[in-house]
Amino acid sequence: MRRPSALLAMIPRVKRISTTIVVLCVAGIAVSLLSLQHHYASSKSSYCDFGANFNCDMVNRSIYSEVFGVPVGLIGALGYSTLLLLTSLRRKKQQMPFVLFATSLAGVAFALYLTYVEGFVLGVWCVLCLSSMGLILAIAALSGLLMWYSKVRT
């Protein structure tokens, strides 16, 4: 059993982790909305074109850029917004750390699928997509820490 002082020492860590998740979610929303903008743009973007192997336009305009007619960028923005909401609700409900972790793992699974499509089906990488993959991996790791801290505190 932990001493009360050890439990109180964890509270600042939990707040820092939650704040970091919020920042990562906002960055994920921005990356997803930028990807969505590229999906509908009629002109090519030069800042995301690094040759034959790295080209966001090729990925964002492929047949894999939509799931059941919904652009992947919109799915990402909604997913990151959901994680942002869950992070803010984390303090109010005891089961929220688990829900946040499970939801972020679902995001990781979706991002892994999209990364597989990029690398092995399309043969071209999207910098925005890879950025999103890094963000969701970081969110999943941090939400796992939050879940662990919530189990230690109870």
Domain boundaries, the chain: 4-153
Per-chain mean pLDDT for the chain: 86
> Sorting pLDDT into bands at 50, 70 and 90, what band is 148?
confident
- For residue 150, the model assigns a pLDDT of 77
Higher pLDDT, 153 or 127: 127
- For residue 92, the model assigns a pLDDT of 59
pLDDT value at 8 more than 90: no
> Sorting pLDDT into bands at 50, 70 and 90, what band is 39?
confident
pLDDT value at 5 more than 60: no
CA max distance for the chain: 61
In degrees, rounded to 5, the angle at the alpha carbon of residue 27 between the alpha carbons of residues 31 and 115 is 50
Cα separation, 114 vs 53, whole angstroms = 16
Higher pLDDT, 111 or 95: 111
The CATH number that domain 4-153 falls under is 1.20.1440.130
3-state secondary structure of 41: coil
> Sorting pLDDT into bands at 50, 70 and 90, what band is 103?
very high
